[in-house]
Amino acid sequence: MDKLQMVDLKSQYLRIKDDIDGAIQEVLNTTAFINGPQVAELARNLEQYLDVKHVIPCANGTDALQIAMMALDLQEGDEVITPSYTYFATVEVVALLKLKPVFCEVDPLTFTIDVKAIEKLITPKTKAIVPVHLYGQSADMDPIMDLAKKYNLFVIEDNAQAIGGYYTGKNGIKKANGTIGTVGTTSFFPSKNLGCYGDGGALTTNDSALAEKIKMVANHGQRKKYFHEIVGCNSRLDTIQAAILNVKLKHLDTYCNARRKVADYYDQQFANHPNISTPHRASYSHHVYHQYTLVLEGIDRDTVKKQLEEKGIPTMIYYPVPAHKQQMFQGAGAEDVVLETTDLLTTKVISLPIHTEMQEDQMQYIASSFLEIINALK
Ligand SMILES: *Cc1c(COP(=O)(O)O)cnc(C)c1O
């Protein structure tokens, strides 16, 4: 059996090596390293794939969030409702722009923002809601969009972990993650579902005026070279990364299906186990399993992690400390925030290896070892 890893980028590369190497070589031949034609090509390809009017590539997923908030003209002190249970970048940009993060609880089953907890956090200062499509599963967008309409709020979908997935609305219409809110942001970090070979990110929107503003913010606040209208930043996707992504986008559905197959297998093996709660599949969401994260009940997580490690099985804790408990927020009002589900989840979750190259014997070994360890501990 091959060595177990959380992700296997090497095997994935080797399968498409010729196409990738060719795409990189083409960029080298033309030396159009910045804003080469592959960048616009990627934007068009993604617009088609996601069925969205505008895709604006940028340097990474954190920048995408920052650019979204800048383009929406959020001002110092404006309140942004976001889950605390997320990768820290979601909340970090809020603080960086001197906006006020208002931490919302998550649903204990889906790990995404608890739509029942949002409304009571809305104040006259609230400007935006940032649902995070965590671990590859869409947040429940219909009620979020209803609230946004009622209170005139922007919705910024943090779609860094769920590109390739979609949401089925009450009306039965399927929409790609990141294309429902005012704007969506994503990341092409190598281990993400659509990963490049370095840093990369993008924004998605159906609002043409906003798309223009996003392009301007990402390009030094200028529409015309050397004429700077607003404060912006410099956030570009490298041409080489765009060339790689143009190749990999063709495989994204296959990659998502491969992840779903691993999840199916784990789900089956762990079904009805009293100490394991497998990741919930919400009826509205096509889950693309960026992570396979389960909740351990009545078993010491760290012991399980350690014993798996001894068997050569890596695991990760996403995330050990929720955003509102991070040191940088202490003294800034976050110490009064009480989020029971979030706090509980951070002590009980564990993520097993899941990726596009997982082999049958690897899945079997991981699942049987996991069960063996848990059954011995309970
Ligand atoms: C990865 C990630 C980001 C940041 O993306 P980078 O490309 O690493 O900057 C933001 N939000 C979430 C939820 C993520 O998982």
Least confident segment among 26-35, 204-213, 333-342: 333-342
Q: Which atom of ligand 1 is nearest to the CA of 62?
A: 9
Q: Which atom of ligand 1 is nearest to the CA of 86?
A: 13
Tell me the average pLDDT across 174-178.
98
Q: Which atom of ligand 1 is nearest to the CA of 187?
A: 7
Q: Which atom of ligand 1 is nearest to the CA of 133?
A: 13
Q: How far is CA 229 from the centre of its chain?
A: 31
Q: Which residues line ligand 1 (CB under 6 A)?
A: 60-62, 86-87, 89-90, 132, 158, 160-161, 187, 189, 199, 201
Distance from the CA of 166 to the center of ligand 1, in angstroms?
Answer: 18
Q: Which homologous superfamily is 252-377 in?
A: Aspartate Aminotransferase, domain 1 (3.90.1150.10)
pLDDT 10s digits, 207-261: 999 999 999 999 999 999 999 999 999 999 999 999 999 999 999 999 999 999 9
pLDDT 10s digits, 343-353: 999 999 999 99
Q: Is the pLDDT of residue 332 over 80?
A: no
Distance from the CA of 85 to the center of ligand 1, in angstroms?
Answer: 13
Assigned token pair, 1:
């059996």
Residue with CA closest to ligand 1 atom 13: 87
Q: Is the pLDDT of residue 376 over 80?
A: yes
The CATH number of the domain covering residues in 9-249: 3.40.640.10
Distance from the CA of 374 to the center of ligand 1, in angstroms?
Answer: 32
**For position 331, what pLDDT does the model report?**
81
**For position 62, what pLDDT does the model report?**
98
**For position 378, what pLDDT does the model report?**
86
Distance from the CA of 188 to the center of ligand 1, in angstroms?
Answer: 9
**For position 333, what pLDDT does the model report?**
76
Q: Is the pLDDT of residue 324 over 80?
A: yes
CA angle, 374 then 307 then 5, to 5° = 105
Q: Is the pLDDT of residue 205 over 80?
A: yes
Q: Is the pLDDT of residue 325 over 90?
A: yes
Tell me the average pLDDT across 264-268.
98
- Write down the mean pLDDT value for the chain: 97
Q: Is the pLDDT of residue 103 over 80?
A: yes
